[in-house]
């Protein structure tokens, strides 16, 4: 028996479509929206945020850059003429910022759902007319309701993100993709808790566009109104 032809045969076997290697990510037939971050796309199955599946984003504090992480994908969907929905957002959206991010405001729906966030979400997913639904469900939403949402999302081309608290990271969920966000050193740390395919090894540190100047922090008093005035006085003197 010669050992030489074996590698060729192995390569042939590995090239077959129905052979899956344990160290590669599952290739899904579903379409995905490129996230705009190459490092993240490489780690997400399908090469982007999945459409037609729930994505859970676990984050406790606002203002880490969690929405900016999604903005490239959202603006791409909005530019293609899609409708976006924010269901029960925790704060008020500030229109100039959303417009500056490239979203069409006339197709950005804000639903103040109160205690019916899950129902609204299900309706929005089931109608199939939305490209993206971002929802902030109540903390008490149960696995059954999540399961219903996943079923409603399946087979649709809607990018669906549920924002949930970090404390639920250990609780199982029917969402095929779960991402935990935390603040890194000047960057956003993205930890993929669950995805299709092999588990992710370590958190990614993504650089997200942030306002202001990060390199040089200005100390408060020098720029407070009183401070500015005294500086001006000093300049005149």
Partner 1 sequence: MCDRLAAEAGVSAGQKLSTALGLEPRLAVSERDAAREGSALESLACWAGRFTPTLSLSPPAGLLLEIGGCLRLFGGVEVIVEAVLGGCAGQSYSTLWAVAPTPLGARWLAQAAAGEIHQEAPAMQVALAALPCGVTGWPDEVVKRLESFGLKRLGDLHILPGAGLRRRIGNGPVDDLLRAWGELPDPQKPFIFPEIFGSHIELPARVEHAEALAFAGQRLFAALTGWLHGRQLLVRACSLHLTHDDGAQSALVLRFAEPAADEGRFLRLLREHLSRLKLAAPVEALRLQADEVVSKPGASAHLFDQQPANEGALACLERLRARLGEAAVQVLGEVADYRPECATRQFDPATDFAFSGASTARFTSPRPLWLLPVPQALGERGVSPHWHGPLKLLSRAERLESGWWDEGERGAAGDVRRDYFVARNPQGQWAWVFRDAEGWFLHGLFA
50 CB-near residues (< 8 Å, 6+ apart): 28, 30, 32, 44, 159, 176, 177
Q: How far is the CB of 217 from partner 1 (least distance, A)?
A: 5
Mark residues 24-63: x for contact with partner 1 by CB under 8 A, - for none: -------------------------------------xxx
Determine the Cα–Cα distance for residues 168 and 150; give it in Å rounded to an integer. 17
Count of residues interacting with partner 1 (CB under 8 A)? 59
Q: From the list 26, 105, 231, 232, which residue makes contact with partner 1 (rule: CB under 8 A)?
A: 105
C-alpha of 118 from chain center = 19
Identified binder of partner 1 from the candidate list 14, 27, 221, 229, rule CB under 8 A: 221
- Does 81 bind partner 1 (CB under 8 A)? Our answer is no
Is residue 66 within the footprint of partner 1 (CB under 8 A)? yes
Of the pair 14, 222, the CB lying nearest partner 1 is at: 222
Q: Minimal CA–CA distance to 76: which of 44, 96, 103?
A: 103
Cα–Cα distance list, 206 to 40, 114, 143, 201 (Å): 8, 33, 30, 15
**What's the CA gap between 50 and 202, in Å, rounded?**
20
Binding site for partner 1 (CB under 8 A): 61-68, 83, 89-101, 105-114, 116, 119-120, 123-124, 126-130, 182-184, 210-214, 217-221, 223-225, 228
């Amino acid at each position: 028996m010669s050992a030489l032809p074996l590698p060729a045969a192995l390569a042939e076997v590995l090239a077959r479509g129905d052979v899956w290697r344990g160290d590669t990510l599952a290739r899904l037939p579903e379409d995905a929206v490129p996230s705009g971050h190459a490092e993240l796309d490489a780690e997400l199955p399908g090469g982007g945020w999945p459409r037609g599946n729930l994505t859970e984003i676990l984050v406790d504090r606002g203002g880490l850059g969690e929405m900016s992480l999604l903005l490239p994908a959202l603006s791409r969907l909005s530019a293609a003429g899609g409708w976006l929905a924010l269901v029960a957002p925790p704060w008020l959206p500030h229109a100039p910022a959303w417009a500056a991010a490239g979203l069409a405001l006339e197709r950005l729906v804000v639903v103040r759902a109160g205690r019916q966030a899950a129902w609204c979400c299900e309706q929005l997913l089931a109608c199939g007319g939305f490209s993206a639904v971002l929802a902030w469900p109540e903390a008490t939403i149960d696995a059954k309701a999540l399961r219903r949402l996943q079923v409603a999302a399946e087979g649709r081309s809607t990018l669906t993100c549920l924002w949930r608290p970090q404390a639920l990271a250990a609780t199982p969920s029917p969402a095929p993709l779960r991402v935990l966000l935390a603040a890194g050193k000047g960057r956003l740390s993205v930890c993929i808790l669950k995805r299709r395919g092999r588990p992710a090894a370590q958190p990614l540190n993504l650089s997200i566009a942030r306002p202001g100047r990060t390199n040089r922090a200005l100390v408060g008093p020098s720029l407070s109104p009183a401070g500015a005035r005294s500086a001006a006085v000093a300049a005149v003197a």
